[in-house]
Structure 1
Amino acid sequence: MQISDLPYPDPGVPDARSGPRFLLWLGRNQLGGQAKSLVWGLIHFVSVAGLAYGVGYAVQAVVDRSGSGLAKAGALIVLLGIGVAVGDTMLHRTSVTNWITAAARVQQLLARKTATLGAALTRRVAAGEVVAVSTGDVEKIGWFVEALSRFTAAALTVVIAAVGLLIYQPALGVVVALGMPVLALAVLPLLPRATRRADHQREKAGHATELASDTVAGLRVLRGIGGEELFLDRYRRASQDVRRAAVRSARMWALISAIQVLLPGLLTIVLVWYGVALAREGRITVGELVTVYSGVMLLNYPLRHFEEIAMAYSFSRPSAQRASRVLALERITEPEGGLREAKAPVGDLYDPATGVLAPAGRLTAVVCGDPDLAGRLADRLGGHPASATDDDAGEAAPSVLLDGVPLDGLPLDVARTAVLVQDKDPVLLSGTLAELLDVPASAGVTPDEALAAAQCSDVLGALTQGAPDEDPMTARITERGRSLSGGQRQRLALARSLVTDPETLVLDEPTSAVDSHTEARIAQGVRALRSGRTTVVLTSSPLVLDRADRVVFVHGGEVAAVGEHRELVRTEARYRAVVTRETDEEQASPGAEPRPGKSGKHPGAATGTGISTDIEIEETA
């Protein structure tokens, strides 16, 4: 694989059982690149080690006053110099290729996993960890893959040089042969502690990254409540924790580097002392002494790669562990036989875990007293059942059924076509409004119809002011729609979902950031536009609930009541407590009725004029 061939047509199926297994899998998928790098590395390192023989041969030629010997030594040194230059150039080229291709493979795997899990990813993995894996961790993993072949070439060169010196001059070669393993393995006892400190540093850095991303995402809210300094102080403390952890980790690596310098120096002193004694006795020549001395000095260069591979593995192992945790997340629990339908089924949507049933072609509202349960239910209805580790009972939740077919057993593209889930906090990508609404659709709903149903007229008016030709479709939307209010972002996201026009649409709190008047019009617009289509709205707003065909109340993780909104308000006290925010005292009082003017809006939403559907309910009752 060359850089020009990226991206991979198929990055493959990774071994995500552990970090080391993932690194091994990456190495196996790059055997060709690793082999090239190994060959060029051997040429480079062996040429470097061979210079010692050339220098010693030249010194001996000078001592013997041999012109021909000196010429041969010069030619040998020139040839070895060419080998050093060419080998180093190609080693760098192939190593960087290995690094980039490995990083690209990991990024493609992460992108594919993100697309597969969708909004469920950030519910199961912290957002800061996802950012750390897709940025810094990818770099660390690529570093280890790049350094692996270079280390292998260096290790083989050390063995070859030690054996060669032992054959060339046994008296001194035995000292080198005994000393080299000590130099190579001396730092091994320090590596576990260095690895632990590196892991601690990574953990602190991941926490700081998560804190920073959360602060940036909520900057407008923080400014509104004057909390910038509070969160800035938290991030400052987190940054200092990262700095202290990095210093502690650097101290350990500095000690390892010092040992890598000290021990070769001691070996050189012993070798020179013993070699001078042998030369005085006439047992070796001056050229042989210079050759062995130069060989040991030059071997310090490949020995440095032992330290590099130790550092690369220590830093990449926790990175690979995090990446493997993300890549091990699964969207589905395959049913027996591995169902693979070519066409999306159409029919009732049913969740066996809670008993929620959304009949085909009708608008069903689901009320959950627990907001977290509502989010998990939305994920399951979209084909993302909780894993065994996520489920409170320790068992994986059963698959949602669409017309009796397990939804999470369908291919991802088919499942996404069958059911579309709009998350509680939808993201708007930067670009024009036309690009925002340019999504795969059935062509049954036009952008104008979707914008009208989502009550986006004021949004279009605001965008028109910034459009170059006064066409709102050409107006630019900034990253994550930060230039818009929360309600405007929410309505544009709703319009995008309506344009898609899926057979089944699941909306999680789609009107929590709009005022009451707008919310009522949105509820009516969605009901009219989605007529004949299956729509599920997870909400506790009476304005939306009153326009649903049927309302399902989920309490304690299962369906507690089913009916129309006004009927449930009168007959189901627990339901009334959720949608009207009734207190425990009010709920316990005899003959309790919903209080006039008490809005069931989601906390934090605008109240508009304070008109509430609950008044209409009482009057009707």
Structure 2
Amino acid sequence: MHIRDLPHTDPGDPDTRSGFRFLVWLFRRQLGGQLKALSWGTLHMACIAMLPISMGLAVESVVDESGGRLAMTGLLLLGVTLLMAFADTMLHRSAVTNWITAAARVQQLLARRTAELGGVLTRQVAAGEVVKVSTGDVEKIGWFVESFSRFAAAVVVTLGVCAGLIVYEPQLGLIVLAGIAAVVLTVWPLLPAATRRADRERSKSGRATELASDTVAGLRVLRGIGGEELFLDRYRRASQEVRSASVHNARMWSLIDALQVVMPGLLMIVVVWQGARLALDGRLSAGELVTIYSSVSFLLFPLRLFQEAAMAFTFSRPSARRAVRVLGLAREAGRGAAGGQDPAGPAEPPSGDMHDPATGLLVPAGRLTAVVCGDPNFAERLAGRLGGHPVEGGGEPSALLGGVALDEVPLAVARTAVLVQDKDPVLLSGTLHELLSVPASGRVSAGEALRTAQCHDVLAALARASADGSGDPMRTRITERGRSLSGGQRQRLALARSLLTDPEVLVLDEPTSAVDSHTEARIAESLRGLRSGRTTVVFTSSPLLLDRADLVAFVHEGAAIATASHRELLRSTPEYRAVVTREPESAQLAEETA
């Protein structure tokens, strides 16, 4: 795998049973890159391990006053140095490639899951948590993938050096092997505590990120009610908790660092003392003593890599668990498009009347149907079911379109057939032209969609704000989430975007709640004309929209109890009149009784 091949054609189907299984799956997906990095890492460290031998040969040559051997040793050192530099370059290249490709794979998986879940995602996990996974956690997972190959190479070369020392001088070799084992066993019991502290720090950091995101998103509202200081105090407290958790975590790693200095230092003292005794006894020459000392000094380098790998694994485990928590989300366990799968089903989008089995709601094909619900939360769930997106854990089936259940057809087909616009649609940053660059049937032009949504004043404001002075509103940049626009302007641009796609069935949840009554009346009249012959469902309680709908369905206490025109329902259904006119239902019933 090369960086130029990114993004991955198919990131794969991850194992989300646990964070560790996910890491194993990630390694298996790029086994070739790991083997390549392991090979270059082994060659690089083997070259470093050859330096003590070369130094020992040089010392022996000087002691024996052999110029030829000294020259040969110099050539050997030069060759080893060049090979070591080349292997180090290729190791860095391979390891960084593994890091980037692993991070890209995880990010693609997160983007795919986010696209599959849509608006259901933020109802199951906080937006700040998703941001944390897609940034910091992806980096930590990539770090472990990158460090593992160097760690494996260090293990291979360390075992080789220890084996060589045992063969060459068994007494010193066994001392070195026991010292390395003591270093590892001293640090190993501290890793679980370090893992817990790192997990606590990441949890606090994710909470602080979530608070910051919520505060920034609602800053205009907070300023309007004077509540920004309250939220800032909450963020300050969360920030201090992150600082405290970070310091607590750093103390553990400082202890591990101290042990990594003390234990190898004690090992070096013991080796030098024993080597000096052997040299005094005549069992070791000066060159051999230098070789053994240099070899033990070399072993301090892979020991530092062991610590890095342990730290990377410690930080990557909670990151992998959080990534699995997001990647394992589903709309509904084990059912069709709702679960993010592509089951066998019709290749063409279904069409016809729409029916919701849970409430008994029937939406005739090709007509503008308004739906009135007394409970806004229930209306939101019902809109999701009409789009084939059942509520997680609710056990409620999706709607039927033309007799076909939307959660039993491929996800792409269901989205082609039905488009659901939430009551709080999101505008991504970019120009207006980019905002309207969405998949569309071509039957509705951008101009028609903008006129139907009554966006003339929005276009005029964007034209005045054009950065290049061209006065072209389509080239004016819209800030993140449309914060440079008012609520009504954002709502109308989102409506224009939905109208431009021209789906077979368009479901709008409170599309004009932030629009004044005059503009709302014009939108209602234009919407009916533009969507003529297409199925449109509008969840609203606005009389202006209800009066212009072909049909109005009233859903009360989870069931569609009445379907007629707006005026007929006002006369015949007291509960409907109470919802639409905002009058207490008890007063209406008392009037009816009187």
**Given the two structures, how large is their TM-score scaled by the length of structure 1?**
0.89
Conserved in 2, the CA contact under 8 Å of 1:586 and 1:592? no
Aligned-residue offset at 1:513: 0.6
CA–CA separation in structure 2 for the residues paired with 1:553 and 1:575: 7
- Which position in structure 2 is the counterpart of 1:70? 70
Give the letter aligned to residue 77 of structure 1. Answer: L
CA offsets 1:411-464 (integer angstroms, 9 cap, x no match): 232211100111211122333333333322222223232222212222233233
- Which position in structure 2 is the counterpart of 1:552? 553
CA–CA separation in structure 1 for the residues paired with 2:151 and 2:184: 12
- Which position in structure 2 is the counterpart of 1:596? none
1:354 aligns with 2:359: yes
CA 1:469 to 1:291, structure 2 compared with 1: closer, same or farther past 3 Å? closer
- Which position in structure 1 is the counterpart of 2:504? 503
Conserved in 1, the CA contact under 8 Å of 2:385 and 2:397? no
Give the letter aligned to residue 447 of structure 1. Answer: A
Question: Aligned with 1:387: secondary structure?
Answer: coil
Give the letter aligned to residue 305 of structure 1. Answer: L
- Which position in structure 2 is the counterpart of 1:299? 299
Give the letter aligned to residue 188 of structure 1. Answer: W
Shifted more, 311-320 versus 33-42: the winner is: 311-320
CA–CA separation in structure 1 for the residues paired with 2:503 and 2:352: 13
Aligned-residue offset at 1:23: 1.1
Structure 2 residue corresponding to 1:383, chosen from 388, 402, 406? 388
- Which position in structure 2 is the counterpart of 1:414? 413
Question: Aligned with 1:385: secondary structure?
Answer: coil
Gaps of 5+ in 2: none
1:461 aligns with 2:453: no
Conserved in 1, the CA contact under 8 Å of 2:463 and 2:476? yes
Conserved in 2, the CA contact under 8 Å of 1:52 and 1:291? yes
Shifted more, 496-505 versus 354-363: the winner is: 354-363
Shifted more, 57-66 versus 266-275: the winner is: 57-66
CA–CA separation in structure 1 for the residues paired with 2:264 and 2:593: 87
Question: Aligned with 2:506: secondary structure?
Answer: strand
CA–CA separation in structure 1 for the residues paired with 2:83 and 2:557: 73
Question: Aligned with 1:187: secondary structure?
Answer: helix
CA–CA separation in structure 2 for the residues paired with 1:337 and 1:544: 37
Question: Aligned with 2:14: secondary structure?
Answer: coil
Aligned-residue offset at 1:560: 4.3
1:425 aligns with 2:430: no
CA offsets 1:361-397 (integer angstroms, 9 cap, x no match): 1222223333332222222222222233xx2xxxx43
Conserved in 2, the CA contact under 8 Å of 1:155 and 1:303? no
Matches for 1:280-291 after TM superposition, within 5 Å: 280-291=280-291
CA–CA separation in structure 2 for the residues paired with 1:521 and 1:218: 30
Aligned-residue offset at 1:190: 0.8
Shifted more, 142-151 versus 523-532: the winner is: 523-532
Give the letter aligned to residue 464 of structure 2. Answer: Q
Conserved in 2, the CA contact under 8 Å of 1:508 and 1:538? yes
Shifted more, 199-208 versus 547-556: the winner is: 547-556
Question: Aligned with 2:305: secondary structure?
Answer: helix
Give the letter aligned to residue 374 of structure 1. Answer: A
Aligned-residue offset at 1:570: 4.5
CA–CA separation in structure 1 for the residues paired with 2:168 and 2:307: 28
CA offsets 1:334-369 (integer angstroms, 9 cap, x no match): 459933322111112222233332221122222333
1:319 aligns with 2:324: no
Aligned-residue offset at 1:65: 3.5
CA–CA separation in structure 1 for the residues paired with 2:353 and 2:263: 74
Question: Aligned with 2:230: secondary structure?
Answer: helix
Conserved in 2, the CA contact under 8 Å of 1:374 and 1:538? yes
CA 1:446 to 1:292, structure 2 compared with 1: closer, same or farther past 3 Å? same
CA–CA separation in structure 1 for the residues paired with 2:516 and 2:203: 42
CA 1:58 to 1:425, structure 2 compared with 1: closer, same or farther past 3 Å? same
Shifted more, 286-295 versus 494-503: the winner is: 286-295
Shifted more, 556-565 versus 189-198: the winner is: 556-565
Aligned-residue offset at 1:585: 6.0
- Which position in structure 2 is the counterpart of 1:52? 52
CA–CA separation in structure 2 for the residues paired with 1:592 and 1:493: 44
CA–CA separation in structure 1 for the residues paired with 2:361 and 2:125: 26
- Which position in structure 2 is the counterpart of 1:142? 142
Shifted more, 273-282 versus 551-560: the winner is: 551-560
CA–CA separation in structure 1 for the residues paired with 2:506 and 2:532: 12
Shifted more, 457-466 versus 47-56: the winner is: 457-466
CA 1:487 to 1:298, structure 2 compared with 1: closer, same or farther past 3 Å? same
Conserved in 2, the CA contact under 8 Å of 1:331 and 1:408? no
Shifted more, 103-112 versus 272-281: the winner is: 272-281
Question: Aligned with 2:537: secondary structure?
Answer: strand
The root-mean-square deviation of aligned C-alpha atoms, in Å, is 2.3
Shifted more, 194-203 versus 355-364: the winner is: 355-364
Would you say how many aligned residue pairs link Structure 1 and Structure 2? 587
Question: Aligned with 2:508: secondary structure?
Answer: strand
Conserved in 2, the CA contact under 8 Å of 1:380 and 1:386? yes
Conserved in 1, the CA contact under 8 Å of 2:524 and 2:548? yes
Aligned-residue offset at 1:548: 2.5
- Which position in structure 1 is the counterpart of 2:191? 191
Conserved in 1, the CA contact under 8 Å of 2:54 and 2:76? yes
- Which position in structure 1 is the counterpart of 2:486? 485
Conserved in 1, the CA contact under 8 Å of 2:141 and 2:316? yes
Aligned-residue offset at 1:472: 3.5
Aligned-residue offset at 1:6: 1.3
Give the letter aligned to residue 379 of structure 1. Answer: G
Matches for 1:13-412 after TM superposition, within 5 Å: 13-331=13-331, 333-334=334-335, 338-388=343-393, 391=394, 396-412=395-411
Question: Aligned with 2:560: secondary structure?
Answer: strand
Shifted more, 212-221 versus 142-151: the winner is: 212-221
Conserved in 2, the CA contact under 8 Å of 1:331 and 1:383? no
CA 1:213 to 1:262, structure 2 compared with 1: closer, same or farther past 3 Å? same
Conserved in 1, the CA contact under 8 Å of 2:387 and 2:398? no
Aligned-residue offset at 1:545: 2.5
**Given the two structures, how large is their TM-score scaled by the length of structure 2?**
0.93
CA 1:80 to 1:243, structure 2 compared with 1: closer, same or farther past 3 Å? same
CA offsets 1:204-262 (integer angstroms, 9 cap, x no match): 11111111111222222222222222222222221111111111111111111111111
Matches for 1:585-604 after TM superposition, within 5 Å: 586=587, 589=590, 591=592
Question: Aligned with 1:341: secondary structure?
Answer: coil
- Which position in structure 2 is the counterpart of 1:611? none
Shifted more, 99-108 versus 220-229: the winner is: 220-229
Gaps of 5+ in 1: 594-621
Question: Aligned with 1:177: secondary structure?
Answer: helix
CA–CA separation in structure 1 for the residues paired with 2:60 and 2:560: 94
Conserved in 1, the CA contact under 8 Å of 2:195 and 2:314? yes
Aligned-residue offset at 1:82: 2.2
* Percent pairwise identity: 65
Conserved in 1, the CA contact under 8 Å of 2:138 and 2:319? yes
Shifted more, 54-63 versus 126-135: the winner is: 54-63
Conserved in 1, the CA contact under 8 Å of 2:342 and 2:409? no
CA offsets 1:258-303 (integer angstroms, 9 cap, x no match): 1111111111111222222222222333322222221111111011
Question: Aligned with 1:186: secondary structure?
Answer: helix
1:564 aligns with 2:565: yes
Give the letter aligned to residue 207 of structure 2. Answer: H
